[in-house]
Structure 1
Amino acid sequence: MRSKKTFNGTGLAFGARAAGAVVLLCALGLIAWNERRVMDYAAALARHGSPVLDLGSGGRPAAGQYGSTTRVSGTPQIVDAPRDGEFNVRSESPVLIRHVEMFQWREITVGGNTHYEMDWVDHPIDATGFAKPAGHVNPGAFPVQGRQFEAGEVRLGHFRLDTEIVRDFPGRVDVPVDEKALPANLAATFTAHDGVLVTSSKPERPRLGDLRVSWEAVPLQAMTVLAQIEGDTLVPAKSHRPGESGFDVQVGDRTLLDVLPALPEPPGAVIPVRGAAYLLAIAGALLLASGGRFRRDMLFAVGVGVVVVSAVAGAMWLAGDAMAASVWLLFAVLGAGLAIWRVQQHGHRPAH
């Protein structure tokens, strides 16, 4: 007749194994759920278009990135600052803009009444088209033209930026002029007044034909750029649709979802969930082994746990991503090797 102690021991061992089977099934369900949401996210990205690399501020050019769209953020670095050589004006910014205005007659018609006034205008006004051109003739073409100057090289993080992207940088700040830096020929014509150059002998009372020259620059500030990788340079996408720029520029450190709101949201805590699945599988294997020769054998439990979790994940990835499947199956092989080694170790132990 079996003793009560033996019966209780058998019952406890059976209960532990049953619990181990449940825990192991939970681990398999957890890894299956986790990999399914990762696969669904990858499929949604594929439907959206080409994959988007989220490199942020620390990403570097690397092999295999050519042609990929990426998000890069940070404060631009100016390698070769723009300079207006004609006026000897320079600015540590991505873009320097020269504005030229002339004091001219303007025709204004309100409610059928036409009147004329003089104001600063950034383009020549043809007075021959005025209703009353007499007494309102403008000088004509500007002797100095407005221009834009881009930095010779602008970098964002570890990438160079294409000139077309730099030109799209938002924001403008005034660049005050230094009269002492003007070339001699221009210093005889222009006078600094309130941070700009004017040809007026009395800047507060300009006359017809007087010029006003000022500069603006794109400020250095945190930026986020979404563009295509071409070597070590970010360029507009070659395959962008008509009417689109092929890139996006936003002020500040913006997330990928901020830049591409239509992009599916990535699953959270993917790595921690994988780790939890492994821990559950190892715990289940330990419980299943209770009462047998592998009880309390942590290495055997680790091997079994790694095998079952990795094999399930690898099998799920086989149809969609051979590279991911091969990595998972490699872990399964390593786990199987560890478990087999422990079986052999137990087999070589002398019987008691």
Structure 2
Amino acid sequence: MRAKKNVNGLGLAWGARVAGALLLLCALGLIAWNERRVMDYSAALSRHGSPVLDLGAAGRPAAGQYGSTTRVSGMPQVVDAPRDNEFNVRSDSPVLVRHVEMFQWREITVGGATHYEMDWVDHPIDATGFAKPAGHVNPGAFPIQGRQFEAGEVRLGNFRLATEIVRDFPGRVQVPVDGKSLPANLAATFTAHDGDLVTSSKPDHPHLGDLRVSWEAVPLQDMTVVARIDGDTLVPGKQAQPGDAGFDVQVGERSLLDVIPALPEPPGAVAIVRGSAYLLAMAGALLLACGGRFRRDILFAVGVGMVAVSAVAGAMWLAGDAMTASVWLLFAVLGAGLAIWRVQQRTARGVH
């Protein structure tokens, strides 16, 4: 009877060891598959030209980021708003644009018939080229020019934005003026009308040579910017091809793949797979110890599992990324230290 129990116990022990070996092999295969897809993703990103960081709205400038491409999103913050000092017009926006138009003669030809009409035009029209210049002479150069004013500093998240990026912000909204803040010399010349400034004494009936000055601003709205990190500033990156600005600006919250569709899709659940590989390896080590002196020694199984999984992952990263490999091998050393400590503990107490 006792011999039968011994045979059954021995069979159970060997069955547990076989199951443990299979679990350990599954753990090593799982970590190898996971690290291979992470390595392939890193290699694909490097072929894109530079590392790509997906910092989103919470990212901060940090050491080691210089030269990397990143995605940052959120509502832009205008730290130093743009101002048109000549007209004393200011707007809490990234960009303020002054438009200047003059009421001038225009030549229009339709179906071979030419006629002339006066309208607001944002550039001087040379009447000497008209088919009938007599009676249709325009005043010439504008006394005031249109201009664009950028904010002194615009931030997105925790990064400053280079002027080239701010200038690319889309959208325009009218900035109405009431004329009360105009300097004295201009207040004597301009009259507010429908949010604009005009020189006409009768704004609804302008005359040849009258000026109309208006302002537009880039509206504040959620933005997504992909650009290169230079310290605490996002700047244009290397131009991959002619016409490429070296950065990308889009309205709203956009994912990295939305902005750069050519990027490879990142592997999913990397941390979960790594944790699963560790758990499988630890369970396998615990089963392998069945019937031996380390049966039911959870700390010993944890150490052995850490050594097996970390050593395989570290060996895979050695050729591609020494820093990542060193982190994995550090975990292997810690696991080995834990397993050795348990051996010494049991030896010292004479446990068999």
Q: TM over 0.5: same fold?
A: yes
Alpha-carbon separation, structure 1, partners of 2:145 and 2:320: 59
List per-residue Cα deviations over 1:160-206 (Å, max 9, x = no partner).
Answer: 11111111111111101022111111111111111111112221122
Aligned to 1:60: 60
- Asked if 1:200 is matched to 2:200, the reply is yes
Which whole-Å CA distance do the structure 2 matches of 1:239 and 1:172 have between them? 27
State the alpha-carbon separation in 2 of the partners of residues 91 and 256 from structure 1: 31
- Partner-residue secondary structure (3-state), 1:165: helix
SS in 2 for 1:171: coil
When residues 221 and 342 of structure 1 are mapped into structure 2, their CA distance, relative to the original with a 3 A threshold, is: same
Instruction: Find the counterpart in structure 1 of residue 209 from structure 2.
Output: 209
Shift of 1:242: 3.3
- The CA deviation at 1:2 is 5.9
Equivalent position of 1:129 in the other structure = 129
C-alpha separation in 1, matches of 2:82 and 2:37: 48
The Cα offsets for residues 201-255 of structure 1, whole Å up to 9 and x where unpaired, read as 2211222111111100001111111112222211112555432211111111211
Once residues 351 and 158 of structure 1 are traced to their aligned partners in structure 2, the CA distance between those partners, rounded to angstroms, is 58
- Report the more deviating stretch, 224-233 or 301-310: 224-233
Secondary structure of 1:145's match?
coil
Residues 227-306 of structure 1: pairs in structure 2 closer than 5 A: 227-238=227-238, 240-306=240-306
Q: 1:114 to 1:349 in 2, by over 3 A?
A: same
Return the alpha-carbon distance in structure 2 between the equivalents of residues 306 and 215 of structure 1.
Answer: 65
Which amino acid letter does the alignment assign opposite residue 36 of structure 2? R
Percent identity reads: 84
CA distance in 2, matches of 1:231, 1:240: 22
State how far apart, in whole Å, the 2-side matches of 1:24 and 1:182 are. 80
Aligned equivalents of 1:155, 1:192: Cα separation in 2: 33
Give the SS at the match of 2:149: strand
Unpaired runs of 5+ residues, structure 1, are none
Q: Aligned equivalents of 2:351 and 2:59: distance in 1?
A: 58
Query: Which range is displaced more, 327-336 or 66-75?
Result: 66-75
* d(CA) in 1 for partners of 2:299, 2:87: 76
Match of residue 7 from structure 1: 7
Relative distance call for 1:201 and 1:341 in structure 2 (3 A) is same
Residues of 2 paired with 1:234 and 1:48: CA distance? 18
- Please give the residue correspondences for 1:144-159 in structure 2 after superposition, counting only pairs within 5 Å: 144-159=144-159
Q: Which moved more, 1:63-72 or 1:286-295?
A: 63-72
Stretch deviating more after TM superposition (231-240 or 275-284): 231-240
Shift in Å, 1:351: 5.8
Which residue identity does 2:347 align to in structure 1? Answer: G
In the alignment, the residues of structure 2 paired with residue 307 and residue 350 of structure 1 have an alpha-carbon distance, to the nearest angstrom, of 25
Distance 1:27 1:119 in 2: 78
Residue equivalent to 1:97: 97
User: Which residue does 1:85 correspond to in 2?
Assistant: 85
SS in 1 for 2:79: strand
Structure 2 counterpart of 1:69: 69
2:110 aligns to what?
110
Tell me, yes or no, if structure 1 residue 218 matches structure 2 residue 218.
Answer: yes
RMSD (Å) for aligned C-alpha atoms: 1.4
Deviations 1:254-277 (A, max 9, x none): 111111110111101101110010
CA distance in 2, matches of 1:152, 1:350: 75
**Unaligned runs of at least 5 residues, structure 2:** none
SS at match of 1:53: strand
1:135 maps to a residue whose letter is G
1:314 corresponds to which residue?
Answer: 314
